[in-house]
A and B are shown apart, each in its own frame.
Chain A
């Protein structure tokens, strides 16, 4: 494969790369101060940022020779379909698994920089709490409300065009890239009160999540389920969420979301349609009054 890659990047053609530097923004726990740490990693063929983090875990030693705890991070599939390994690689939000070392070094030979997402509370190092993403899926009722799981025949027939559009939206991994890039999506970090129990804290946090901006991915999910023939029967509920507090009106049309989506979901198309649907929904409600 080496010879192939030389056609696409320059890094492979520089045999002098034996090791490279990785700078990681670390944080030991929620609410604690973050700090930069340098690691030196040996270069191997076919490396991505996950294999870099695996090396760092194995070494557990900084570039200065200091013994440290391994960097914590999330990952699972390593094929960019599970959405777990989102982080900022050289300042850009993306899945770490498809961030190939040779390409990163070709763009920026002095090393690789890894940081946690900034729109979610850091739990440790590169691990953040993305429960808000899923709480919002509950709010927008992102499912098809079938009668039962008994055998009732197949679903409705669909044109290839409808399927292709729905498939685009339904590839959303809830990875968080779009909201990280969105200037309107603001971080929610609630300090713990002295009288908080874990349950009361979770309840307050959840309430805050449900009041805040739903984000581009959730708008695309509303479009997905409202375009499903069965899902459309409950379109009103989803449109209420779309037009309620934290709904589509918060979108500032920066269009950053669509540029960073690893699944290339047409998020701005969804937002455009969502805006139109929201307007009709408001008008209809106004006439119904």
Chain B
């Protein structure tokens, strides 16, 4: 009973790698998941996992450049030591996954094959067909199963995390959870709690996320006192296909293998795409971003598609916004071998073969760069002190956050194929820190705590549950409330943001949150009641939705995925070099001024009145000094020149 025990919430890549590593370190672990293991959202990751490799090294690549690409792509909004450490570990992580049996694609000589992904010029992305996330997840699931047989890991499958249990000193001593079949609510003592609960796409109604990605677990941790960082940074993926139930992603790997994005130059050209001649096609990413072409970072590609559709009026269809993603130029054999799974999704859901007809795509909410605030400890060389309990630990002692639900690695924008590496990295490295935390646990183990602590917590959650079951009929419909929340959030807080709209959305959300407890349930039974579980998740989405909106409202600048046109930096159109240089210097002044104000993490804390309180945290940029992010900015060369001059002058001082 008094054995140190860790509860991991979530069975995706992060949670499973943490459980596996903890088991190896002889720690007893419970994995709790809404679904049976092996069904987590990680399986949706298609494209691949990034690391420096033997091939890229010979072209001049190194782990520092992977680190630098990640930080530059993320617009310098992440603390640099954890990112640096992640880039160091990435090659080892891929080696490990290879040893665990992941069926990475191979070159003719039998080495792992790599493809190019967005935001880099190197082929760093290892992949297993077009279902890399699924393959990585299965390898971890298999290892965890091995530890289940060995008795080290216990699975709580089909359980809903209801909240952490904190002692009087505010230290985490376990969690409350509900069995989704028997509806039993139980308090589980635990000496450490690792949250690996993924993203919150369902805040936006339909997204590329799976149905389990409600964000409710994170929201419950937030309202219990865990701080939330950079909530306003939501990645909208450029290429998805619409559906009545979700928006399905078409992986960046389609472009990584040579797929091209275009729209007909003639608005709503009625000809089939194959009949539109090359010169009448607008390859807008290639034209505007000659260096990165179709592989510009996601936030940029997304905004360009918006611009082409809304401002230029060049959407392929008049009634539904979309542009072409075209892989018809690529050899069929390559498509089948490297993109089979991606193209099959389009074929299955649209009934059209993308090998012969260009796909019609439009951006969709995809990933949350923000997440639970967590700490790290730096070592002498500017990386992480592995084994420090501070790594990935939140402000609540004993609660750790890893994977998409932490805010640590991606800054203002995540690069493609970096999420898988961040999930596994944070999972593997949190484990030794947790073990050290357990060794020096103040105040005794969870099993030695007073039983009333747990009884009280369980009772509180039981009361909430019972109250929900006996609500009067004829109130709001939780499914409609969720759809409405999604509409409000999508309109105000995705690709292009305006303060007026965000403010109106915030008021609307507050109003909806007050109405939420009036939702009635169509199912008031006590067995496998999905109705009550969904309604509770929807209610718990509101605190997180407010964090996203309030952060977005406050941040009057453009950074990565957060874009407010009123605060956009100007471009330099002057052709006279002297004038262009003058403007560039002004530009740099404004850039520095803006960074002084906004190169900070937004930190939201739950205040008693239900509104998030914002504060700002300085960012550790000790390794790479921030510089303008200039992918394809008009006049970028003048800015770059002025910026270098400024740097040289500072160095001279």
Query: Given the complex, which residues of B lie within 8 Å of A123, measured CB to CB?
Result: 181, 528
Q: Mark A84-98, 1 if CB is under 8 A from B, else 0.
A: 100000000000011
Contacts of B131 in A (CB 8 A): 81, 171
Kindly provide the distance from the CB of B397 to the nearest chain A CB, expressed in whole angstroms.
26
Q: Mark A142-167, 1 if CB is under 8 A from B, else 0.
A: 11111011011111011110111011
- Contact between chains at A143 and B146 (CB < 8 Å): yes
- Given that A146-B100, A148-B24, A160-B108 are contacting pairs, would A69 and B531 also be in contact in the complex, using a CB cutoff of 8 Å? yes
Q: Among the listed A28, A67, A103, A149, which residue makes an inter-chain contact with B96, where contact means beta carbons less than 8 Å apart?
A: A149
- Complex Cα distance, B351 from A46, in Å, reads 11
User: In the assembly, what is the distance between CA of A141 and CA of B149, in Å?
Assistant: 9
Output the least CB separation between B42 and chain A (Å): 9
Chain A residues with Cβ under 8 A from B246's Cβ?
Answer: 78-79
> Contacts A149-B428, A152-B99, A167-B129 given: A83-B38 contact, CB under 8 Å?
yes
Select one of A50, A138, A171, A225 contacting B101, CB under 8 A.
A225
Do residues B99 and A163 form an inter-chain contact, with CB atoms below 8 A? no
A76 on the B face (CB < 8 A): yes
Contact A77-B103, Cβ < 8 Å, known A149-B96, A151-B92? no
Q: Nearest chain-B residue to A45 (Cβ)?
A: B244
Q: Scoring A residues 220 to 255 as 1 if CB is less than 8 Å from chain B, else 0, what string do you get?
A: 000011001011000000000000000000000000
Q: Identify the stretch in A1-9, A181-189, A265-273, A277-285 within 8 Å (CB) of chain B at 4 or more residues.
A: A1-9
Residues facing B in A48-102 (CB within 8 A) are: 48, 50-51, 54, 57-58, 60, 67-70, 72-84, 97-98, 100
Given contacts A81-B131, A151-B95, is CB(A124)–CB(B245) below 8 Å? no
Is the beta-carbon distance between B134 and A171 smaller than 8 angstroms?
A: yes
Whether B525 sits at the interface, judged by CB under 8 Å, is: yes
Q: Is B105 an interface residue, CB under 8 A from the partner?
A: yes
Inter-subunit contact B38/A68 (CB<8 Å): no
- Assembled-state Cα–Cα distance A143/B522 (Å): 43
- Complex partner residue of B110 from A51, A134, A157, A170, CB under 8 angstroms: A157
Q: Complex formed: what's the CA distance from A144 to B135 in Å?
A: 13
Total A residues in contact with B, Cβ cutoff 8 Å:
79
Cβ of A231: which chain B residues have Cβ within 8 Å of it? 101
Q: By the criterion CB–CB under 8 Å, are B212 and A76 in contact? A: yes
Cβ of B72 under 8 Å from chain A: no
Which chain A residue shows the least CB distance to B157?
A131
Q: Which one of B39, B41, B148, B348 has the greatest number of beta carbons of chain A within 10 Å?
A: B39
Would you call A174 an interface residue if the criterion is a C-beta within 8 Å of the partner chain's C-beta atoms? yes
Residues facing A in B141-173 (CB within 8 A) are 142-143, 145-146, 148-149
- Is B145 a contact of A134 with CB atoms below 8 Å? yes
Q: Which of B55-97 contact A (CB under 8 A)?
A: 92, 94-96
CB contact list, B93-120 vs A, under 8 A = 94-96, 98-101, 103-112
Q: Is B242 an interface residue (CB 8 A)?
A: yes
A202 part of interface (Cβ distance < 8 Å): no
At the interface, yes or no: A47 with Cβ under 8 Å from chain B? yes
Q: Does A109 contact B (CB under 8 A)?
A: no
Q: Which residues of A contact B236 (CB under 8 A)?
A: none
A48 to B560, CA, bound (A): 34
Identify the closest chain A residue to B109 (Cβ). A157
B530 at the interface (CB under 8 A from A): yes
Given A5-B351, A149-B21, CB of A46 within 8 Å of CB of B244: yes
Interface residue? B20 (CB, 8 A): yes
- What is the bound-complex CA distance between A8 and B129, given in angstroms? 27
Task: Using CB atoms, name the residue of chain A closest to B144.
Answer: A143
Interface size, B (range)? 35 or more
Residues in A whose Cβ lies below 8 Å from that of B37? 134
For A146, the chain B residues whose CB sits under 8 A away are 99-100, 143
Whether the Cβ atoms of B528 and A127 lie closer than 8 Å is yes
> What is the bound-complex CA distance between A174 and B145, given in angstroms?
14
Is B480 an interface position by the 8 A CB rule?
yes
Chain A residues positioned under 8 Å from B24 (CB to CB): 148-149
A153 touches B95 (CB 8 A): yes
With a cutoff of 8 Å between Cβ atoms, the chain B residues found around residue A144 in the complex are 99-101, 139, 142
Q: Please state if B38 and A76 are interface contacts (CB–CB under 8 Å).
A: no
Are the C-beta atoms of A81 and B243 separated by less than 8 Å?
no
* Per-residue interface assignment for chain B, residues 121 to 134, with 1 indicating a CB less than 8 Å from any chain A CB and 0 otherwise: 00000001101001
Chain B, range 529-568, C-beta contacts under 8 Å to A = 529-531, 534
**Given A100-B349, A155-B95: A134 in contact with B38 (beta carbons within 8 A):** yes
A153: chain B residues at CB < 8 Å are 95
A-side contacts of B38, CB under 8 Å: 82-83, 134, 173-174
Query: A138 near B527 (CB under 8 angstroms)?
Result: no
Contact B129 A68 (CB under 8 A): no
Residues in chain A near residue B103, CB distance under 8 A: 163, 166-167, 170
Pairwise interchain contact A130-B36, C-beta atoms closer than 8 A: yes
Check A98/B349 contact, CB under 8 A, given A123-B528, A149-B21.
yes
Contacts of B586 in A (CB 8 A): none
A contact residues around B134 at 8 Å (CB)? 81, 171, 173
Do B244 and A44 touch across chains, with their CB atoms under 8 A apart?
A: yes
> Which residues on A sit within 8 Å (CB–CB) of B245?
47-48, 50-51, 54, 78, 97
Q: Which residue of B lies closest to A148 (CB)?
A: B24
Report the separation of the CA atoms of residues A18 and B477 in the bound assembly, to the nearest whole angstrom.
Answer: 23
Quote the shortest CB–CB distance from A51 to chain B (angstroms). Answer: 4
Question: With A1-B360, A144-B100, A155-B98 known to touch, is A80 a contact of B138 (CB < 8 Å)?
Answer: no
Contact A230–B530 (Cβ < 8 Å): no
The reply to whether A77 and B528 contact each other, CB–CB distance below 8 Å, is no
On chain A, the residues within 8 Å of B108 by CB distance are 160
Could you tell me which residues of chain B, from 300 to 347, have a CB within 8 Å of some CB in chain A?
320, 337, 341, 345
Is the C-beta of B350 less than 8 angstroms from some C-beta in chain A? yes
B44 at the interface (CB under 8 A from A): yes
B624 sits at the interface (CB 8 A): no
Bound-state CA distance A51–B211 (Å) is 12
Task: Write the chain A residue with the least CB distance to B480.
Answer: A58
Cβ-based interface call for A25 (8 A): no
Output the nearest chain B residue to A3 by Cβ-Cβ distance: B317
* A138 (CB) vs chain B CBs: closest residue: B149
Residue of A nearest to B181 (CB): A123
**C-beta contact mask, A108-141 vs B, less than 8 Å → 1, else 0?**
0000000000000001100100110010011001
Q: Which residues of A contact B413 (CB under 8 A)?
A: none
A140 to chain B, nearest CB (A): 11
B149 touching A57 by the CB < 8 A rule?
A: no
A142 touches B145 (CB 8 A): yes
Give min CB distance, A116 to chain B, whole Å: 12
Q: Are A82 and B528 in contact (CB under 8 A)?
A: no
**From residue 501 to 539 of chain B, which have CB atoms closer than 8 A to chain A?**
522-525, 527-531, 534
State whether the Cβ of B378 lies closer than 8 Å to any Cβ in chain A.
no
Which residues from B are CB-within-8-Å of A158?
106, 110
Contacts of A103 in B (CB 8 A): 351
| Distance in angstroms between the alpha carbons of A57 and B131 in the assembled complex | 31
Nearest CB in chain A: distance from B624 CB, A: 25
Contact of B352 among A8, A127, A142 (CB under 8 A): A8
B337: which A residues are within 8 A, CB to CB? 164
B211 in complex: contacting residue of A5, A7, A76, A162, CB < 8 Å = A76
Binding site for B on A (CB under 8 A): 1, 4-5, 7-9, 28-29, 44-48, 50-51, 54, 57-58, 60, 67-70, 72-84, 97-98, 100, 103, 123-124, 127, 130-131, 134, 137-138, 141-146, 148-149, 151-155, 157-160, 162-164, 166-167, 170-171, 173-174, 224-225, 228, 230-231
Q: Can you list 5 pairs linking A and B with CB atoms under 8 Å apart?
A: A1-B360, A58-B480, A76-B212, A100-B349, A163-B104
Q: Would you list the 10 A-B pairs with minimal beta carbon distance, nearest first?
A: A60-B522, A69-B523, A155-B98, A143-B142, A157-B110, A58-B479, A51-B244, A8-B351, A124-B528, A144-B101
Additional 6 contacts, C-beta under 8 A, given A57-B534, A70-B530: A5-B350, A48-B349, A57-B531, A69-B525, A81-B131, A230-B99
